[in-house]
Amino acid sequence: MSLHTDTKIFKVTYDLSLLVTKLVANMPRNYKADFGTGLRQQCFELVMLVYRANSASDRPPIIRILREGVEAANLSLRLAADLRLISRGQYGEAIALTDNIGRQATGWLKHSENALAAPSSRRPGQRA
């Protein structure tokens, strides 16, 4: 098993968290405290879900939660753009990252589900 920090999905979720942290720093004070903090926490939770999924033996349930979190982040980012808390360009940059995360998570989920469904080639206790 590779380190979670070596995976592409981890790097992209970390980049999203870093970008959102920078975007929130420039939000008006009345939005920064509650809306901005929530958005930052959503993105940090995505990073943690990647870690949890990478270290879990039963990955599909965690990856499903990760995909749901990506959609929640998308909605929050859209709201931030509609409220003009972030520019359209910043929104586009963030959405490109969430799209990348979503595609990787979907592939990871399919791979994990197929790995669980595949019969083992060896019986327990049998040597190679």
pLDDT tens digit sequence for 15-63: 999 999 999 999 999 999 999 999 999 999 999 999 999 999 899 999 9
Q: Is the dihedral of CA 52, 57, 63, 69 positive or negative?
A: negative
Name residue 52's amino acid.
R
User: Which tens digits make up the pLDDT trace of 64-87?
Assistant: 999 999 999 999 999 999 999 999
Could you give the CA distance from residue 33 to residue 51 in angstroms, rounded to a whole number?
27
**Domains assigned to the chain:** 4-116 (1.20.1440.60)
